[in-house]
Structure 1
Amino acid sequence: MGALVWKGQGGVGRLFKDVDRTAFLMFLGLLVFFGIFLLFPILYVFRGAFFEGGRFTLTYFRLMFTDAFYRESILNSVKIGVFTTLLTSLISVPLAFLTVRYDFPGKRLMQGLLLVPLVMPPFVGAIGMKQFFARYGSVNLLLMKLNLISRPIDWFGGGFFGVILLEALHLYPFLYLNTSAALANIDPTLEEQAENMGSSGFHLFRTVTFPLILPGYLAGAIIVFIWAFTDLGTPLIFEYRKVVPPIIFSMVKDIWVNPMGYALTVMTLIVSVGFVVLARRYLSRKSYEMLGRGHIVPRVRRIKGWKVPFVYLFLFIMVLAALVPQLSVITTSLAGQWFLTVLPSEWTLDYYRVTFTHSITVTSIINSLKYSVFSTALDVLLGILIGYLLARKSFPGKDLLDSVAMLPLSIPGIVIAFGYIVAFSKTPLNPFVNPTFLLILSYAVRRLPYTVRAAYSGFQQTSVSLEEASLSVGATPFKTLVSITAPLIMANVVAGAIISFSAAMMEVSDSLILAMQEQYYPITKAIYSLNLRLGDGPYVASALGIIGTLLVTACLLAANRLLGKSLGELFRA
């Protein structure tokens, strides 16, 4: 194909024999990029956590477990991660079993509604939920009006239970989708054999079905735990600050006088990566292969008789619970007059008008569009390059490139953002002066796996013989890429780019930490800032959140149409 290759004798020559030199040089360039903007910031945080005055120290890690405040905060973060995972499991596994194994009218509609929480970050939903479940909010007022309670109930336990509930209602689709996919791939003959031996009901599920879907379940559970454990926005909205992410957030401006932020960030990374490693090691101890006979068709039964109303009641309750955060934010954004009434006594669109006229909101929308467009463009360029190298080239370090490109999926956003702060604050990229470049880079690095996988999938689906035919008739490699390969993979690349763009538009952790001046606020930082403002702040914040959510929804629907997949398939681990 006209590629430049290294050939030679001896050890080095044999190592690089028939290796595409251009591909290898591109690989080295990509390693430099990841080294500077992914690994270097993390290593800088490690240095700040373990070294003081040039000497190795564990002082700050000892302080974590000896100081009552830090110990309680770490424990609270772990509790939120564990309880959120348990709650999402209680929601997701029954839903997956019901929608995969049974057929009933309206099934596709229900499946679509169950995925609605994906489009709104939980910290936006928290604004509306606080209004609904406040001491004299809608729920308490309704229950007192019905004489079901005599005094208001603290539904969220000072914020702890509110964080868990919001996280679970936002994250359960990830676990539901992965569990559904695993259930659909089970060879039905395995369960049939168990039934022939007398197993049935929950015993069949516990001993046969669940062990077979465990890899898919754990893939979703890892996402849920890490997200809940490291989420910054939701605890801030609920003003529940005795957890690790808000403490790290509060220490950003004290990084040169208080190294505790470094240690807490390292601990967050170790727990997150450790959870992934433990899950994979557990799965590697057993075999989950099934000797299926060709294409697997899952066992689907028709629900009949007295079971039908119970199924619809269960699904109605779940859909209603899933939609409560979205409905609460919409209601808050439209409330003209809302005081000691179950629903607003007056309705208005004024807060939406404010979002397009107020300096903070208008600037934040423009900033988010700017950051997201440039980060997505960078993701597309890098994604196509990495996808091309992985699918079409052979060179030393190919597996390393694949692993490094996927690494951002395992690293919490708060770790990357804090790393950027400490690593680049004394450079021309100083985020305290202008965070634009680092915001674009952080968005791009965190969402790069989406475009890499989309591009790689496109290359895999495109026969290399088409490119070879083009080259054989005299076309240059660049012309072949532009005129043959690019059109064939374009739908995949554009879909991956849309997903990256939508995720960047409502990115929370990076935005809250890196954007410290009002003129650089993206949408999510503006929502947080407005929510703190007395008077109409939460109402304008809700309207801005709905606008951001509509943008994300439009993007995901476009990606769905381009890929020809359901919305759920875009979010499977």
Structure 2
Amino acid sequence: MGPRNRSGLCGGQAPRRTGPAGPVSAALVRPWRARLRFEASVSQVIAATLVAAFLLAFLLMPVGRVILTAFLDPAGGFTLIHFADFFRTSLFIESFWNSLYVAGMSVVFASVLAVPLAVILARYRFPGSALIATLGVLPLVMPPFVGAVAMQLIFGRNGTVNLLLMDWFDLRLDLMEGLNGVIFVQSLHYFPFILMNLSASLANIDVSMEEAGQNLGARGLTLLRTIVLPLSLPGYLAGASLVFVKVFDDLATPLLLNVTNMLAPQAYLRVTSVGLADPMGYVISVILIAVSLAAMVGSGLLLRGRDYATAQRGGGGLSHRRMTARGKLLAWLFVVPVLFLVLAPHIGILLLSLATIWSFSPLPDAFTLAHYGTVLRETPQFLTNTLLFCGIAALIDVVLGVVIAWLVHRTKLPGRELLDLAAMSALAVPGLVLGIGILRTYFDTHLPGGDSLATWWGMLIIVLAVRRLPYALRGATAALRQVHRSLEEAAENVGASKAVTLTRITVPLMAGGLAAAFVTSFATAAVELSATLVLVTRDVDAPIAYGIYIYMQSAAGRGPGAALGVIAVLAVALCTWGAHAVAERERSRRVRTSESQEAA
């Protein structure tokens, strides 16, 4: 026998580990150690901690405070009495059903506009295809609350259309009265979401599926109803759910149309009139969040268990067939009125900004540039604040987007997906709810000068950044995925750390995508009003969206307000054009690079 060691085993054999169920071999333990090993550098941990702290402080904690407050009684205990009071109050019940009705009908009317346009764009060689593509962007350039004022001038009780109809046919259309006005404005503003998503979905349908339906005898509307539209359902539901959520949570449009019997206006009025201690504002906020999440989750559940995959890689795209003369006539009869509706807000706000007097007449009495001089002379801070606030917010979004995308897709840091999930959750949080949460969380925290931290202009920048972070994050993620890992590995092989590789190699290669993300965040932040109305207390700290709203509250200020609206539209249009130009340049650069590599 061999020599014994202290454990009594022969040959110096290592002692065997034992557990509750008996001996456990080290070979079985080793894989679990490998799984639990913390694979992260110090820089990665610091970056993740800073991002998590930002999201926790300015998104999760404020929203959590709103939700928690809705369930607390005055003594601090759990209660459902506030929700019971909500459902016992006739005004709140009416507001709840009105909000659902407006959101649902906006989806219906937006679909009436978007679905035919998408089908024409995807199925036919139509000479107006470029015009239809323009319709997919044009409404989004104008903020919906600015469009609401313009639509009143064109389609209101004493607007251009009704005055002409009364003169010619003794007929009046109540398109802008009450809830109908909100539905009309929101449908025109948000239908491009359905148009763009449905067009993309139709373009990815395999042509062989359409041909199979034709071989079985399906033609015309039958083919469209049984084959084409069902296969494009994912794109339609993506756009429709987005329209529903946007309309349901919107605050500014109902307020400017003097419609207060909806949930978002009721939450705003409760907080601003009754105060932060009133629980009903928080209860309504929780319901806003719950319905928004339900709409997004519900659209996904409708697709569960169904297969929409194409038979060939990338889809073949629907066959573009030639339109008959009758088809072209019908298409133009549809496209031209839609174009008029889409352009009406832009025309109306431009005319109002140039009008001396425009009341009870189809067109202004005379034109002037005085309103532009008024806003540039008396309230230049609206413009400078917008450039400053939205520029800093967009920069914050780009930095956070790059860091989160890098942590998620380039590291093995445990829990990194939670950062992406937390950042994207801002999409489901209405701006009004986030603003109320910020007030609830930081109102009693005071700066050295005595001002509340919640109403400090720097807090507005942070809120704008949080609200637009998902857009920048998706842009940064897309840009990062186009940077090949071998380029980063080459830098690390010559001694560069991961942080140096990120700043010197990865980020410069992502420049085009990040520029597009910056201008997208800037443009959308420039017209943010829901959170702005809650947090801004002084005109000197207000951006342009707040200025438009204040001016539009009085008939005397509608001209300067319209001038600010035109400036906002031009700013958003320039940013949209800039983002598109940068994206196209990057796409062209990638195509040229790919072609040169193939040639080599």
TM-score (norm 1): 0.92
Q: Which amino acid aligns with 1:156?
A: M
Partner of 1:528: 549
Compute the displacement of 1:25 (Å).
Answer: 4.1
Measure, in 2, the Cα distance between the counterparts of 1:28 and 1:286: 40
Structure with higher Rg: it is 2
Map 1:51-200 onto structure 2 (within 5 A).
51-52=72-73, 53-146=75-168, 148-149=169-170, 152-157=172-177, 159-200=178-219
What is the alpha-carbon root mean square deviation over aligned residues? 2.2
Mapping 1:13-32, distance limit 5 Å: 14-32=35-53
Tell me if the contact between 1:252 and 1:421 (Cα under 8 Å) persists in the aligned partners.
no
- Deviation string 1:435-458 (CA, Å, 9 cap, x unpaired) is 312211111111111221222222
The CA distance in 2 between the partners of 1:209 and 1:301, in whole Å, is 14
- 1:406 is aligned to 2:427: no
CA-CA distance at 1:478 after TM superposition: 4.4
Q: Does the alignment pair 1:510 with 2:510?
A: no
Compared CA separation, residues 395 and 61, structure 1 to 2 (3 A): same
2:444 counterpart SS class: coil
State the AA in 1 paired with 2:483.
T
Contact conserved, 2:72 with 2:78, CA < 8 A, in 1? yes
Contact 1:502 1:551 in 2 (8 A): yes
| CA shift in 2, pair 1:22/1:505, >3 Å | same
The residue number in structure 2 matching 1:389 is: 407
1:375 maps to which of 393, 406, 410: 393
* Distance verdict in 2 for CA 1:27–1:566, change over 3 Å: closer
1:223 corresponds to 2:245: no
The residue type paired with residue 229 of structure 1 is: F
8 Å contact kept, 2:523–2:575: yes
Q: Equivalent residue of 1:434, what SS?
A: coil
* Separation (CA, whole Å) in 2 of partners of 1:12 and 1:428: 48
- Indicate the SS of the match to 1:564: helix
Distance change in 2, residues 1:293/1:468 (3 Å): closer
* 190-199 vs 502-511, greater mean Cα deviation: 190-199
Find the partner of 2:470 among 438, 449, 462.
449
Aligned 8 A contact 1:421 1:431 in 2 = no
Shift of 1:170: 0.5
Runs of 5+ consecutive residues of structure 1 not aligned to the other structure: 1-7, 568-573
Residue 542, structure 1, aligned to residue 539, structure 2: no
2 CA distance for matches of 1:178 and 1:14?
40
Alpha-carbon distance between aligned partners in 2 of 1:394 and 1:334, rounded to the nearest angstrom = 58
Answer yes or no: is the 8 Å Cα contact 2:439–2:454 preserved in 1: no
Does the 8 Å contact 2:110/2:191 carry over to 1? yes
SS in 2 for 1:88: helix
CA contact (8 A) 2:193 2:242 kept: yes
2:597 corresponds to = none
1:185 to partner: Cα distance: 0.4
* Structure 2: stretches of 5+ with no match in the other structure: 1-28, 588-600
Which amino acid in the other structure matches residue 84 of structure 1? Answer: S
Query: Which one-letter code corresponds to 2:69 in the other structure?
Result: G
After superposition, residues 322-341 of structure 1 pair within 5 angstroms as: 322-341=342-361
1:263 matched to 2:283? The reply is: yes
Aligned to 2:363: 343
Q: How many residues align?
A: 554
Change (3 A) 1:522 1:293: closer
Match of residue 510, structure 2, among 468, 484, 489: 489
Query: Which one-letter code corresponds to 2:111 in the other structure?
Result: S
1:550 CA drift (Å) = 0.3
Task: Identify the residue that residue 318 of structure 2 maps to in structure 1.
Answer: 298
What percentage of residue pairs aligned between the two structures are identical? 35
Residues 439 and 32 of structure 1, relative CA distance in 2, 3 Å threshold: same
C-alpha deviation, 1:9, in angstroms? 7.1
Q: What secondary structure, in the 3-state scheme, does the structure 1 residue paired with 2:235 have? A: helix
Q: Which residue of 2 aligns with 1:3?
A: none
Task: After TM superposition, give the deviation of residue 516 of structure 1 in Å.
Answer: 2.2
- More displaced, 70-79 or 331-340? 331-340
Q: Structure 1 residue 261: deviation in Å?
A: 0.4
In structure 2, give the amino acid aligned to 1:168.
Answer: S
**CA 1:341–1:392 in structure 2 vs 1: closer, same or farther (change >3 Å)?**
same
- TM superposition shift of 1:472: 2.2
Amino acid at match of 1:64: F
Q: Secondary structure at the match of 2:356?
A: strand
19-28 or 412-421, which deviates more: 19-28
In 1, the alpha carbon distance for the partners of 2:198 and 2:146 equals: 26
1:571 matched residue in structure 2: none
Check whether the contact 1:20–1:394 (CA below 8 A) recurs between aligned residues.
Answer: no
TM (norm. structure 2) is 0.88
Alpha-carbon offset, residue 231 of structure 1: 0.5
